[in-house]
Structure 1
Amino acid sequence: MSSHEVGPGLTKRTSRGGALTTNFSSEVFDNQVVPSSLGSISPVLRAAKEVEAEQPRVAYLCRFHAFEKAHRLDPSSTGRGVRQFKTALLQRLERDNAPSLAARVKKSDAREIQSFYQEYYENYVRSLDQGEQGDRVQLGKAYQTAEVLFEVLCAVNKTEKVEEVDPEIIAAAKDVQEKKEIYTPYNILPLDAAGASQPIMQLEEIKAAVAALWNTHGLNWPTLFEQHRQKAGDLDILDWLRAMFGFQKDNVRNQREHLILLLSNVHVRLVPKPEPFNQLDERAVDAVMHKLFKNYKTWCKFLGRKHNLRLPQQYQEVQQRKMLYMGLYLLIWGEAANIRFMPECLCFIFHNMSYELHGHLAGNVGTMTGDSIKPSYGGDEEAFLRKVITPLYRVIDKEAKKSRNGKAPHSSWCNYDDLNEYFWCFGPCFELPWLPQVEVY
């Protein structure tokens, strides 16, 4: 077996059969093998590797910034693999400092990275951005690298006490931030302006579901969100639910794709074929609703309560209301975490939130305050996670700790089924106040 150097600090050993095995070394962090607890520094290390050939000093500054972030995230290096990772990264920094400093063109690190950032933005990012003709994958990577470079630039300026940043750099950073959101990586559907020309978005069943989701006619937006809406352009039903109930932005993005695919998959299989095909058929909406709310309706029937899936009198508003109910349920499910193991608890949450939703749409909520779209727990950023899910999770966590890792008798603590059983009892279940009176933060 022989060995040869394939890069600074990385050794590959070649067996006689030709197979390659890589030893752990100081280069491992460049291959994105970072401890899970330090995942947020991976983009910084990827940016360092990308620019290293052209600008080694900037690559060094990126790795130095990654080391500082890693130390802030885990200062005592208690996480799995963190100590080894930080040691390898520090060794790499010590080795690269002198040669990268010798290769520096400008008089200071601040000027060096500012100069490179401008060059990278003007000569690479802008040349790639050709609208719908551009390469989405390459553009996404370029904007992410540019964002990282600006983050490192700000850190270097702070270290060297540089108070002013060139206005051109600030303008470029704002443009990068806006475009980065447009070219965010997606799962299946590119649901942004830049993805409209992609083949999958040309399918009629996809267009039909997307059009139904964009029907926000008659929905009143919060004042602050209305201003954002005017800048961002058209927003859909799930954005409205996020504005009202405080769901997370990424949850909205995931459930938007989820709901579109559920509806389009049923729509395309309908017999007889819908006419016109590019409009979402009511049969598809009803089929998806039946699947989503079968357990909820069973739960309501068992407890002798009328469900809150109330539809309006006007026919043209019926489909929108159904989309709102389905979107609300999926958004609740998307942030429920371990509460998903308590399906009747989810029914209880949806039952109360759908009641509030109906009140908002009927204009019966918030008339005293003048704001008709705030739920009882407030619709601020991530309010649902903080004020609904987290208090319930803490109850589960408290009960789990009573088990003493399974050593305590089961009669002394409650598991998921025991807690979920509470929501099968008519009296205690509906005597529970909405919401849990727990201050999370």
Structure 2
Amino acid sequence: MASSSGRRPGAGPGGGEPSSTPAPASGGRRILRTQTAGNLGESIFDSEVVPSSLVEIAPILRVANEVEASNPRVAYLCRFYAFEKAHRLDPTSSGRGVRQFKTALLQRLERENDPTLKGRVKQSDAREMQSFYQHYYKKYIQALQNAADKADRAQLTKAYQTAAVLFEVLKAVNVSQKIEVDQAILETHNQVEEKKKLYLPYNILPLDPDSAANQAIMRYPEIQASFHALRNTRGLPWPKDHEKKDDADLLEWLQALFGFQKDNVSNQREHLILLLANVHIREMSKPDQQSKLDDHALDIVMKKLFKNYKRWCKYLGRKSSLWLPTIQQEVQQRKLLYMGLYLLIWGEAANLRFMPECLCYIYHHMAFELYGMLAGNVSPTTGENVKPAYGGAEEAFLKKVVTPIYKIIEMEAERSKTMKSKHSHWRNYDDLNEYFWSRDCFRLGWPMRADADFFKTPNFVLNPRDQTNGEHRPAGNDHWMGKVNFVEIRSFWHIFRSFDRMWSFLILSLQV
């Protein structure tokens, strides 16, 4: 199952998605090719080609290549730490290309040990690492921070990530030599970690506090209007155990309540801002009107996003869960919450995106819960305010909503591969999605009942009439739902039925 905790998702529903930006020079995520014996050699460490099972050591090798010109001994210590970490990750070297990679890395370490040791300035490797860490922080990070223009964001991001890797190696070297890290270095590391949380990879919009004021793209009026509209969290009931940030927005509030993944929230925050900004700039022609998000532009984006959901509600004869408040000042906030919730569900749904009506079912119930929380409704059973059925635990939506449905898709797909069963004896995405085409889908409940027919899997038995080819059929005593509407029966005549127009044309041509 592909979760959307990784950056970035594809094209968004109901509008354009910010295009994927190549990994910046700031050490953003790169595609790592699988290492094989054929591409081993001295260039392996320059191109940072590592085995797929050892991707965690790629940043360490990048830092080693970066600092080798200024301090070869530090580069050697980084590679040595990478080798130790690779051995911990795969001690038996069972992964593809791991044995060759570790052998080549060990040979290089043996060649570089003596030359780099002679060039070491300090008396020990621990002191050498501490000295270089302080030097790197002053020369690169402080210099970039003190620049008048706050420097290039990509360079500053790269410097923070490099400093974090250097401290990791520094700490490992000190532990091996039983030397405590200086307090000044620990304080510097804490500052680096705080800033590192802000400077994260992004697609188009750098939304951290420093970049929001200094990057040119963040100064556009339409971006500012959408950005500030999402920051309106006035009147929202935050969970008691949640630590609210000063720069919190509506999507962070949804994350705290429904348990969406952090990267998914970052993706869809940028997605929603750009959707609103694109429509806002087209609708508002006067410059003085662009500083505030236009309600008409908001309605246009909302109409596109919820077109399929409203058609689904109308088809099933159900009222939509898009209830708006009577107070005019809260209408814009409520609309943004509804749109943000839909995008967060879509962004984290992974393979469920192939089942649009299933997403409508999930959104229908979660939007109703959202309305109940904002209206202050009280649960008739507990007497407390309404809370989400699946809570706001970390990754709750992925684990409790997406995963159970995906498991059914996975089992049906495996059955189609491993068993010689008829096409009518297993379900694909369309067959599972057809379950949500009728009112019977509401028997699934919310929270979803684990014993519902949708989650039942059949116990297949061997057909006694066909012992030779191993054809399987569902047992008669189970509750497997099977295909709901259209069931394709494949036979010898299927090829004639599929191409009936072609056969008719050929017969008529022959007669002529």
CA distance in structure 2 between the partners assigned to 1:33 and 1:155 by the alignment? 24
- Contact 1:245–1:374 (8 Å) recurs in 2: no
Change (3 A) 1:144 1:294: same
- Contact 1:213–1:236 (8 Å) recurs in 2: yes
What letter is aligned with 1:172? T
What letter is aligned with 2:155? Q
- Contact 2:73–2:116 (8 Å) recurs in 1: yes
Using CA pairs under 8 Å that are at least 6 residues apart, name the structure with larger relative contact order, 1 or 2: 2
- Contact 2:126–2:170 (8 Å) recurs in 1: yes
Residue of structure 2 equivalent to 1:435: 447
Corresponding position: 1:306 with 2:319 = yes
Change (3 A) 1:120 1:368: farther
CA distance in structure 2 between the partners assigned to 1:371 and 1:107 by the alignment? 65
Deviation readout 1:305-347 (Å, 9 max, x if unpaired): 1110110010110010000011111111111111111111111
Residue of structure 2 equivalent to 1:113: 129
Q: Return the offset for 1:272.
A: 6.1
CA distance in structure 1 between the partners assigned to 2:122 and 2:114 by the alignment? 15
Residue of structure 1 equivalent to 2:350: 337
Residue of structure 2 equivalent to 1:358: 371
- Contact 2:372–2:386 (8 Å) recurs in 1: no
CA distance in structure 1 between the partners assigned to 2:192 and 2:76 by the alignment? 22
Change (3 A) 1:353 1:112: same
- Alignment match of 1:126 (pick from 126, 142, 161): 142
Deviation readout 1:34-88 (Å, 9 max, x if unpaired): 3344333221111111111222222122222223333344444454444433333
Quick check: which one's helix share is greater? 1
- Contact 1:289–1:322 (8 Å) recurs in 2: yes
Aligned length in residues = 411
- Contact 2:316–2:439 (8 Å) recurs in 1: yes
Change (3 A) 1:409 1:275: farther
Q: Return the offset for 1:113.
A: 1.6
- Contact 1:216–1:236 (8 Å) recurs in 2: yes
What letter is aligned with 2:137? Y
- Alignment match of 1:145 (pick from 154, 162, 172): 162
Change (3 A) 1:433 1:253: same
- 3-state SS of paired residue (1:404): helix
Residue of structure 1 equivalent to 2:361: 348
Question: Where do 1:375-414 residues align within 5 Å?
Answer: 375-404=388-417, 408-414=421-427
Unaligned runs of 5+ in 2: 1-37, 451-512
Question: Where do 1:63-78 residues align within 5 Å?
Answer: 63-78=79-94
User: Which consecutive aligned stretches of 4+ in structure 1 deviate over 6 angstroms post-superposition?
Assistant: 366-371
User: TM-score, normalized by length of structure 2?
Assistant: 0.75
Residue of structure 2 equivalent to 1:282: 295
Q: Return the offset for 1:185.
A: 2.6
- Contact 1:377–1:383 (8 Å) recurs in 2: yes
- Contact 2:83–2:102 (8 Å) recurs in 1: yes
- 3-state SS of paired residue (1:223): coil
CA distance in structure 1 between the partners assigned to 2:378 and 2:55 by the alignment? 42
Deviation readout 1:164-199 (Å, 9 max, x if unpaired): 322212111111111112222321111122212222
- Alignment match of 2:204 (pick from 178, 188, 201): 188
Question: Where do 1:51-90 residues align within 5 Å?
Answer: 51-90=67-106
Structure index of larger Rg = 2
Q: Return the offset for 1:294.
A: 0.7
Residue of structure 2 equivalent to 1:242: 255
Q: Return the offset for 1:436.
A: 4.0
Q: Return the offset for 1:372.
A: 5.0
Question: Where do 1:193-212 residues align within 5 Å?
Answer: 193-195=209-211, 196-212=213-229
Corresponding position: 1:33 with 2:46 = no
Q: What is the identity percentage for the equivalent residue pairs of Structure 1 and Structure 2?
A: 64
What letter is aligned with 2:296? R
Deviation readout 1:239-277 (Å, 9 max, x if unpaired): 111111111111111111100110110111116658622
- Contact 2:369–2:386 (8 Å) recurs in 1: no
Change (3 A) 1:68 1:271: same
User: TM-score, normalized by length of structure 1?
Assistant: 0.86
What letter is aligned with 1:63? R
Residue of structure 1 equivalent to 2:108: 92
What letter is aligned with 1:314? I
CA distance in structure 2 between the partners assigned to 1:346 and 1:126 by the alignment? 48
Q: Return the offset for 1:161.
A: 4.0
Change (3 A) 1:347 1:273: farther
Question: Where do 1:263-274 residues align within 5 Å?
Answer: 263-270=276-283
Change (3 A) 1:165 1:310: same
- Alignment match of 1:223 (pick from 232, 236, 240): 240
- Contact 1:308–1:355 (8 Å) recurs in 2: yes
- Contact 1:29–1:85 (8 Å) recurs in 2: no
- CA-atom RMSD in angstroms: 2.5
CA distance in structure 1 between the partners assigned to 2:380 and 2:191 by the alignment? 40
Residue of structure 1 equivalent to 2:470: none
Unaligned runs of 5+ in 1: 1-21
CA distance in structure 2 between the partners assigned to 1:86 and 1:411 by the alignment? 50
- Contact 2:284–2:290 (8 Å) recurs in 1: no
